[in-house]
Chain A
Amino acid sequence: EVQLLESGGGLVQPGGSLRLSCAASGFTFSSYAMSWVRQAPGKGLEWVSAISGSGGSTYYADSVKGRFTISRDNSKNTLYLQMNSLRAEDTAVYYCAKAQEGYSYGGGFYYFDYWGQGTLVTVSS
């Protein structure tokens, strides 16, 4: 059974930093890309970042590029999101998601077949 367990959320002041973790089990972690998706209170889903199975390729939303860093430790089956220079608008539940890769005539793509329960990050003074 695939399980994703996020941790590391909490209250942080504007300009501060936080590192989220996502412990994965039930699948061969290194074989799959992983992603972070967030949801501000009462709002929709926003894709944040993704990383390939090897960790060699990373992708970021424009809203977090240069402030957030995604990484993974395949020996520990753990995904991370280092969040720096946090802003009030970064307040959200952050979900870890396992990515499934596919290909069509339009090119390669990812979708998210398993999700964690999320961890709340609140940026406020």
Chain B
Amino acid sequence: SYVLTQPPSVSVAPGQTARITCGGNNIGSKSVHWYQQKPGQAPVLVVYDDSDRPSGIPERFSGSNSGNTATLTISRVEAGDEADYYCQVWDSSSDHPGVFGGGTKLTVL
């Protein structure tokens, strides 16, 4: 089945740019979605279809996808962005199509 690989942790100072990667075989041919999860809370969709933002999500959150890597970029990072972030794809060619990455803990220094 399809595998998504994320770094366990990323650290960034407030006001800087955080980049969280999601690796997968030819992931650029798939649509990638990103979720933010804060402790004790349900996940929240922050980017869908590689680079679109749901209403209410700040423009500071953006996404890109090419080749074997998709990237979630958070500009002008704030303390409130500290959370776990997960990428997700739907592998329609598989019998088990739903796939999440292992998650990345974003720490704001």
Contacts and interface: CB of A to CB of B under 8 A. Distances in A.
Interface string B26-42: 00011101010100001
A111 B52 CA distance: 12
A59 B98 contact: yes
Contacts of A26: none
Given A110-B98, A111-B33, A116 B42 contact: yes
B16 to A, nearest CB: 25
Interface size class of A (residues with CB under 8 A): 20 to 34
B5 to A, nearest CB: 12
Interface of B: 1, 29-31, 33, 35, 37, 42-45, 48-49, 54, 84, 86, 88-90, 92-93, 95-103
Contact of A111 (B49, B95, B101): B49
A40 to B, nearest CB: 12
A44 B101 CA distance: 8
Contacts of A115: 42-44
A60 interface: yes
B99 A106 contact: no
Interface of A: 35, 37, 44-48, 50, 59-62, 65, 95, 100, 102, 104-113, 115-118
Contacts of A48: 98
A94 to B, nearest CB: 11
9 contacts: A35-B98, A45-B43, A47-B100, A95-B42, A95-B43, A109-B90, A109-B92, A110-B98, A112-B88
B42 A118 contact: yes
B49 A104 contact: yes
